Structure 1
């Protein structure tokens, strides 16, 4: 159990001696669990404030005369909010220790401590009510602290998302600017199929890759771009020139020129037979021919 810090304000040094004498023989620590930390002799309010600040119990011990009562009332009103509890104690008139009844002072001191304790008991229900309110507020505080933690995490997550959205927005703005520039130059974009058919309506459209290679071979990179079924060029004439070159290349590849065949040697012809009757090898002789020959003989 904590020790109660009690401080006593008196009017002068002689009162310090009287109170100190009265405290002798009192077992305040064992009986009341208190300690008298200081006895302050002063009538100055500012000094009293400095000396009494933070005390659990402040006893204002002044004479029972009018001056003492006025001083006690002034100190009570000035120091009431600076300490836990303020209690008034009346000292018997006279400042000569030999003529003061110390036992009477001791008894008054004990009565003052009892009164302070009883007054504390009177405020106990209020204290308990305040304690319950404090516990309720602590529970609400803990709940709000947890809610704050969750909101903080959500806030940080939203902040991160916001930054990502800002970056995405910046990227989209740049992309939008590029699209605007592309739209402004849309007149220089031509569909490959339409451009080819306008020149060679009866011919199949060549592969886009082949046209791209032609752009590289002809040194048109940078001036002509081919992709996604479109040709981007400075003007239509350059597109037509490119497609005519492609057409010519394809024609050469598909219809190569005829290569003349080397002459072949003709077999030697047999000599002509001499005029007049002659002998014919392997001639077929018919019976009628033999009969005619015989008649001629």
Structure 2
């Protein structure tokens, strides 16, 4: 348990002796868990502020007469916000230690400490309510801190992405501006649709990206530029050559593959003629003589 720091403010040095004498009969540490850290003899407000700043409890011990009451009220209003709690204590009239009832001072001091404790208990519910409110606000603050960190991370990521997109947009805008200037300042500029329809009026206009791909494949990069619905070429014949090649490529790609030929059925061999029995086979290599032909004619 923390020790309560109590300081006592009196009017002069004689009051210090009176209060010190009264404190000798009190076991404040064991009974109240408090310590009297200073007894300050002054009527100067600035000195009192310096000496009392930071105390848990400040007891203003002045005489019970009108002067003492006025001084206590002035010090109370000036020092109320500098310490945890301020309590007024009335000292008996007279400053001669031999004629002051020390026991009466001791009793008044104890009563002052009890009053301060009771007043603290009265504000305890308010303190607990404020404490709970503080804890609730701390929880909300911690949640908002985490949310801030998350949003800050998202903001950093979005800022980085924005910078990248901005740089890319500026680059594309520069390229687009250069291309538009090139197209506007060039005479050999043709609209893709018009150039295509002039060659193939019945065919749909192919995609611009497909034509651009053909420019790369044909090695015409730099000589032919395709973009934004236009074709730029050093020579108008290149445009016709390019579009005819594109048309041929599309036609070949769309032409159906030929079907393989059907196999012909095998031809049937005619049956061999039967040779008459008893006839001799004639040799293919037999030699025909002239006298044989003459004999044959005579027989006829």
| Mapping for residues 191-270 of structure 1, pairs under 5 Å | 225-226=223-224, 232-233=233-234
Shift of 1:185: 3.3
2:45 is aligned to: 45
Greater Rg, structure 1 or structure 2?
1
Structure 2 residue 167 is the aligned partner of structure 1 residue 167: yes
| RMSD, aligned CA | 3.1
Provide structure 1 residue ranges, at least 5 long, that are not aligned to the other structure. Answer: 199-206, 214-220, 244-297
| Structure 2 Cα separation of the partners of residues 25 and 106 of structure 1 | 8
| Structure 1 Cα separation of the partners of residues 215 and 105 of structure 2 | 118
Q: 1:60 to 1:227 in 2, by over 3 A?
A: closer
1:157 is aligned to: 157
1:86 is aligned to: 86
Q: 1:70 to 1:54 in 2, by over 3 A?
A: same
For the Cα contact (< 8 Å) 2:9–2:60, is it kept in 1?
A: yes
| Structure 1 Cα separation of the partners of residues 27 and 219 of structure 2 | 110
| Structure 2 Cα separation of the partners of residues 3 and 210 of structure 1 | 92
Deviations 1:54-93 (A, max 9, x none): 1110100000110000000111111111111000000111
**What's the secondary structure of 2:55's corresponding residue?**
coil
Shift of 1:210: 11
1:283 is aligned to: none
Q: 1:226 to 1:51 in 2, by over 3 A?
A: same
Deviations 1:99-158 (A, max 9, x none): 211111111111100100011111111111111211221222122122212211121122
| Structure 1 Cα separation of the partners of residues 172 and 218 of structure 2 | 32
| Structure 2 Cα separation of the partners of residues 169 and 38 of structure 1 | 74
| Structure 1 Cα separation of the partners of residues 50 and 186 of structure 2 | 87
Structure 2 residue 115 is the aligned partner of structure 1 residue 124: no
Provide structure 2 residue ranges, at least 5 long, that are not aligned to the other structure. Answer: 200-213, 242-300
1:73 is aligned to: 73
Shift of 1:182: 2.4
* Count of aligned pairs: 219
Q: 1:167 to 1:19 in 2, by over 3 A?
A: same
| Structure 2 Cα separation of the partners of residues 124 and 212 of structure 1 | 90
2:262 is aligned to: none
Q: 1:61 to 1:119 in 2, by over 3 A?
A: same
**What's the secondary structure of 2:43's corresponding residue?**
coil
For the Cα contact (< 8 Å) 1:211–1:226, is it kept in 2?
A: no
2:63 is aligned to: 63
For the Cα contact (< 8 Å) 1:212–1:226, is it kept in 2?
A: no
1:10 is aligned to: 10
Q: 1:141 to 1:208 in 2, by over 3 A?
A: closer
Q: 1:158 to 1:231 in 2, by over 3 A?
A: closer
For the Cα contact (< 8 Å) 2:52–2:83, is it kept in 1?
A: yes
2:138 is aligned to: 138
**What's the secondary structure of 2:39's corresponding residue?**
strand
| Structure 1 Cα separation of the partners of residues 140 and 66 of structure 2 | 51
Shift of 1:225: 2.4
| Structure 2 Cα separation of the partners of residues 212 and 169 of structure 1 | 29
Q: Give TM-score, length-normalised by structure 2.
A: 0.65
